[in-house]
Amino acid sequence: MADRLAIGIDIGGTKIAAGVVDEDGRLLAQSRRETPTTDPVAMVDAIAEITAEFREDWPVRALGVGAAGYVDASQSTVVFSPHLAWRHEPLRDAIARRTRLPVLVDNDANASGWAEWRFGAAQNEADLVMVTLGTGIGGAIVIDGQPYRGHFGIAGEFGHMQVVPDGRPCECGNSGCWEQYASGRVLQRRAQAAVEEGTSFGAALLAAADGNRARVDGTLVGRFAAQGEEEAVAWLTEVGDWLGVGLANVAAALDPGVFVVGGGVSANGDLLLGPARAAFGRSLTGRGYRAEARIVGAHLGPEAGLIGAADMARITARRRRLASPGARVRVRGAARTARPPRRSRRPSAEQ
């Protein structure tokens, strides 16, 4: 049982989501905390506390962390995070010292993409590009059953492609980044402006938030859009348009068979994906003469990041145990039988 269980931690801009996950991607226990965004030490403290609580009831053998930031190729250090106080933070070693577990750290979108490829919307696909729409935009790439992280470990940061020269300032330090036009922050910015300007829709949003301006966000906009509120639908359509334009740019570089769209904004379904598909078709290079990638919503919801992080950590820890002295024959045998053409059922989480 123990070899089959791992803890997954998904660290976002506002929350830490954690869970115990088995080898089939099933979530057996969950926990949530607010993210201490300005204190890396408090972040490690919170992860250690969550881990200790889980270990009281579950015999886990590994811990995986999906971090909202740029993770180096060794999967140990968060070199930079636009939204959190990480600058060359040795997160893996800090957590391992506190928990005494094998720890793997990866970008949160990479973890989500891995989960969707293993257990969700992209099962049986050879390749995957995932785009996660939350506070910003994250991305993940799986090529022939392997996560692709790039030479320095930072591939897939699609949210910081420049789509509007001299456009809106971004927390990364540049301007005109894709995530400034096609993420949850766009809906929140529009909603907060409507409240500030005192428009009729702004008043409706504020009333739905019980008068609390801090609760006027993109989720609330989505609720109104689902009810047919024209302004909310128009805002989602605009975000979808920008999403489709960006996906066409990514398709020009990577040519995947499927794009999986996840993150909180993806909960709006076809209100978002319908405009995205239309804009993708209009913007795709060679349109009309080439096959178009499918654009689908993620299946695993907000738990995808922690499920993927746990699965990566479990696979990696098991491989390292098998590769220890006395287990080398087993590793060679497993390697010969576990790599069918194109789609491995027991894939590698490492590169």
Model pTM? Answer: 0.85
Average pLDDT over residues 329-333: 38
The stretches of 198-265 forming alpha helices (DSSP H) are 200-208, 218-226, 230-254
How many domains is the chain built from? 2
> Is residue 23 domain-shared with residue 138, that is, in the same domain?
no
To the nearest whole number, what is the mean pLDDT of the chain? 89
Give the side-chain half-sphere CA count within 13 A for 249: 16
Q: What CATH number corresponds to the domain at position 171?
A: 3.30.420.40
Range of the domain at 284: 123-183+228-298
> Is residue 246 domain-shared with residue 329, that is, in the same domain?
no
> Is residue 249 domain-shared with residue 140, that is, in the same domain?
yes
Q: What is the pLDDT of residues 94-126, one digit of tens each?
A: 999 999 999 999 999 999 999 999 999 999 898
For residue 168, pLDDT over 60 is answered with: yes
Distance CA 25, CA 20 (A): 10
* Angle at 109 (CA atoms; ends 318, 136), nearest 5 degrees: 160
- What is the pLDDT at residue 346? 44
> Is residue 128 domain-shared with residue 82, that is, in the same domain?
no
* 31 in a structural domain: yes
For residue 240, name the pLDDT band (cuts at 50, 70, 90): very high
For residue 338, pLDDT over 50 is answered with: no
Torsion of Cα atoms, 80 then 85 then 87 then 89, to 10°: -100
Q: What is the pLDDT of residues 250-308, one digit of tens each?
A: 999 999 999 999 998 999 999 999 999 999 999 999 998 999 999 999 999 989 999 99
> Is residue 68 domain-shared with residue 157, that is, in the same domain?
no
> Is residue 141 domain-shared with residue 247, that is, in the same domain?
yes
Q: What is the pLDDT of residues 54-98, one digit of tens each?
A: 999 999 999 999 998 889 988 889 998 877 778 998 999 999 999
* 216 in a structural domain: no
> Is residue 243 domain-shared with residue 266, that is, in the same domain?
yes
Q: What is the pLDDT of residues 285-294, one digit of tens each?
A: 999 899 999 9
CA 211 from chain centre, in angstroms, equals 31
